[in-house]
Structure 1
Amino acid sequence: MRKLFSLLLFFAFLVANSQSNTDVFLFDLKTSSNSIELLNHKNISANDGYDNQPSFLDNNTVLYAGTRNDQTDIVKYTINYDSKIFINHTEGGEYSPLKIPNKNEVSAVRLDPDGLQRLYTYNLRNGESKELIKDLVVAYYTWYDNNIVVCAAIEENRLNLFVVNTKGGTSKKYQENVGRSFHKIPNSNLVSFISKENNTWQIKSLNPKTGVTKVIANTMEGVEDICWLNSKTILSGKDSKLYKLTLQKDNNWKQVADLSSKGISKITRLATNLESSMLLIAGDINENAKKTEETKEKEKPASETSNEVSEAEAIVQKQLEAYNNRDIDAFMATYSKNVKLYNYPNELQTDGAQQMRKRYEQWFNQTPDLRAFIKKRIVIGNKIIDEEQVTANGQIFNAVAIYEVENGLISKVTFIQ
C-alpha cells in the first residue's frame, strides 16, 4: 500500500508539471558585477506538450525531457547545428536527464508503464540503459561526483533527502520534506537543496560526505526552482520574471528580466553551463507571444550564406537527427532526387531517391533500437567524413560514411565498413 501511494504521489507531481505546455529556451548571458543581461533567446524545443528539466551536457549540447508520441524521453539538442535527437528508446518515460561526471553516460528518472520508478543510466554511444539505484523511488537528484547522488526520494507522502553511493550501494537519509531543486554549488564541495520543514522555504547547503547542513537564504514565496550563476549568485524565477540573489550583497531577491515578451508566462526550471555564459529556462508558454515570435520568424528573409562548410555540416547533421528518429520524410528531405549510395570504392547500392527511400523505410521499420553515434567528423569543402558507431537490433558496428553536398542537399554517399 505504501509503495502504491508513493507512486501515486510522484504521478501527481508529474501530472501537475506536464499538464501545461512547457518549452525549453536557451539564452546567452552577459554578466558584470552590477548587471545580468539575457541575449539571443531561442525556443529550442518548439514542441506541443511537456518539454522541461533541461541541463547542459557540455557547452554545445543540451539535454531535456521532451514529449514524442505522448511519451516523455531524453532529448539531446546540439546548439551549433540547431538539431535534436532522442537518445533512448524505452517503453517507460524519462525525466530529469543529467550528465554523469567523467563518464560518457547520462542518467534519468524512468517511470515504467507498470508503475516502477527508478534512476537509470544511459550510454551515449548506443542508448543502452541499466538500473542505477534499486531500493529508492528517486524523483529529483543531482550528481556530487561520478559515484555519489544527492536526491529526493518518495517516502509515504513527501520527498526526503538521501545521499546514495552508487559504487558502494549505500544510502543515508539526511532530511525530510525537501523540494525538487538540487545543484552542485560552484567551486565548493557542497550541494544546495530546498528545505520545506518550515512555512518559509529555505535554500540550504549539504556536505554529502559529512552530512553537515547550513542555511543559505530564503526562497521567494512558493518558489522552489533555482540555479547557481556562480558561487555567490543564485537565479530563480517567479511567473515570467527572473530574479537574482547575490549572497552577502543583496538583502532580497532582485528582478533581472521580465520574459513575458519572449513567450514565457511561468518559469519552472533553470540551468547554467559551467562558464555561466548560457542559461536554460523551461517555462509555461504564453500562446499569444509564441504566435508573435513564429510570425516574426516566418517574415525574416532567408539568409544567404557563403560558408559552404557550415551548410554541408548542417545538412549532414539534420540527416543524422532524422536517421536516429527513424523519420523517413525528414531523412529523405536532406537528399537530392538523384542521390547515389556506394560501397567503397564504387559499388553502386541505390540510384535515386526513390530506391533509397524504399531501402531506408524498410530499415527504419525493422529496427526499433536504431541509433548512430558520430565518433569523429572531418570536413573538407563540401565533403563530410563521419566515423560512425551504429546500434541496430542489439548489434553494434562501425563504419565510415563520406557525404558529398551539392546545392544544399546530399548528392552522394560512400560507405566504408
Structure 2
Amino acid sequence: MSRIPYLLIILSFLSIQFVQAQTSFDLWVVDTEGKGSSLKLLAETAKSLTNRPEYDNQPNFINDSELVFSAADNQGNHDIILYSFRTGNFTNLSKTSDRSEYSPTLTDCKQYISAVVVEPDGKQRLWLYPINQEPAELLYDDIAPVGYYDWYDNKAAMFVLGEPNKLVYAWGKGNVEVIANNIDRSVKKRPRTAEITFLDRNELKESPEGNLVPIKTYDLKKKKINAMGNSLPGSQDLIWIDKNHLLMAKGNEVFIKSATGSEWNSIGKITSSTHKNITRMAYSLELNKLVIVMQRN
C-alpha cells in the first residue's frame, strides 16, 4: 500500500470520529423482564441517563452496578466516565486535555479500563487505564489505527482501519493474526466461548429495508469461522445478552435473534419526542436494565 492512500484512510477515519463527536448522543436506560428469548423491554420505564448537547456514547457495564462510557466536554475532548447505578453518581476516570478516549470497557483481568485513544499526534491505539488511577499504559504500540475491539484471554481482537478494514487478534508481540477483511464496526466476544463476533461485508446483500450483513464468529481455539445469519437490515451495532442471543436496534425499536435462528423479533420500542435512532447498547442481567444510545433530534 502506498503511503499517501494510507494517510488518507487515517485522516478519513479520524474525520468520521470528529463528525460523530459533534453529533449529540445521550444514554437512556430502560428496565427489562425475562431472560434469553423471553427478554422484553418495559418501555414505559425508559428515561434519559444523560441529557446534554455533547456526545455521550459507547456504554459498557464493568460489573453488576457500574457503567463506563465515552463523553465529550464542551471543548470536544472525550473522557472516560463511570456511572454507578447504586449511587447515581458520575465520575471521571480520565480527564485528558491532549487526547480523547473512546469505547471504554473492563479488561479480562479486571485491573484496567481499556480505551481506544486518539493521541496528540493523531495515532489511534489501544491504551489501558489502571483502576487504581496510576498512569495509563499503551498496550500495542505497533497496531493502529484501532477503531473497535473486545477481549479474549487478556488479549484484544481489534478492528483495524485499512484497505480493507480488518479484524486482527494479538496473540503476542509480533504475532498478530488477521481473522477477516472488510468487516463492519461491531467486534464482540461471544459470552462463555472463545469466539469473536463480527459483521462480514464481503457477503453483503441489499434489501429495501437496508443492507443485510452476515454475522460470523471466529473460534480462536478451533481456528474456525461460523455463520450466524444476517444482521438486522440497515443496522451495524450488535451485542450478546448471553451465549445464545443477540440484540440489534433500528429506529427506536430493539430486536432479538437466537444464535442459530434467522428471524429478528421485536422486544419493545422506545417512544420519545426528543431522541431517535438507537445504536449502541449495553445489557445488565443483574440489574435487568438495557442502556441504549440515542441521537438527539
User: In the alignment, what sits opposite 2:209?
Assistant: none
Equivalent residue of 1:280, what SS?
Answer: strand
Report deviation, 1:154.
1.2
Structure 2 counterpart SS, 1:7: helix
Question: Of the two structures, which has the highest relative contact order with CA contacts closer than 8 Å and spacing of 6 or more?
Answer: 2
1:255 has 2:262 as partner:
no
AA aligned opposite 1:110: V
Which residue matches 1:269? Answer: 280
Larger radius of gyration: 1
Contact preservation (8 Å) 1:174, 1:211 = no
Verify: 1:134 aligned to 2:138, yes or no.
no
SS in 2 for 1:17: helix
Q: How does 1:62-77 map to 2 (within 5 A)?
A: 62-68=67-73, 69-77=75-83
Q: Which residue of 1 aligns with 2:210?
A: none
Residue of structure 1 in register with 2:13 after alignment? 10
Measure, in 2, the Cα distance between the counterparts of 1:269 and 1:109: 16
Give the aligned partner of residue 391 of structure 1.
none
Q: Deviation digits for residues 23-65 of structure 1, max 9, x if unmatched?
A: 1122222115545123633322222121101000111110000
With over 3 angstroms needed to count, the CA separation of the structure-2 counterparts of 1:169 and 1:28, relative to structure 1, is: farther
Do the aligned partners of residues 276 and 252 (structure 1) sit closer, same or farther apart at CA in structure 2, a change above 3 Å counting? farther
Are 2:38 and 1:27 aligned?
Answer: no
Between the aligned partners of 2:136 and 2:39, the Cα distance in structure 1 is: 43
Does residue 36 (structure 1) correspond to residue 40 (structure 2)? The answer is yes
How many corresponding residue pairs? 282
Deviations 1:255-311 (A, max 9, x none): 22221337431011012236582212112124xxxxxxxxxxxxxxxxxxxxxxxxx
Which residue in 1 is equivalent to 2:169? Answer: 163
1:322-365 Cα shifts (integer Å, max 9, x gaps): xxxxxxxxxxxxxxxxxxxxxxxxxxxxxxxxxxxxxxxxxxxx
Alpha-carbon distance in 2 for matches of 1:149, 1:219:
23
Contact 2:170 2:176 in 1 (8 A): yes
Unmatched 5+ stretches in structure 2 = 206-212
Shift of 1:70: 1.8
Distance 1:214 1:246 in 2: 14
**Code of the aligned partner of 1:27:** V
Distance 1:255 1:264 in 2: 19
Tell me how far apart the structure 2 counterparts of residues 35 and 76 of structure 1 sit (CA, whole Å): 26
Note the C-alpha offset of 1:203.
Answer: 0.8
Contact between 1:87 and 1:127, CA under 8 Å: does it hold in 2? no
Amino acid of the structure 2 residue aligned with 1:284: Q
Structure 1, unpaired ranges of 5+:
287-417
What is the CA RMSD across the aligned residues, in angstroms? 2.1
Between Structure 1 and Structure 2, the one with more helix by share is: 1
Using the size of structure 1 for normalisation, the TM-score is: 0.63
Contact 1:21 1:285 in 2 (8 A): yes
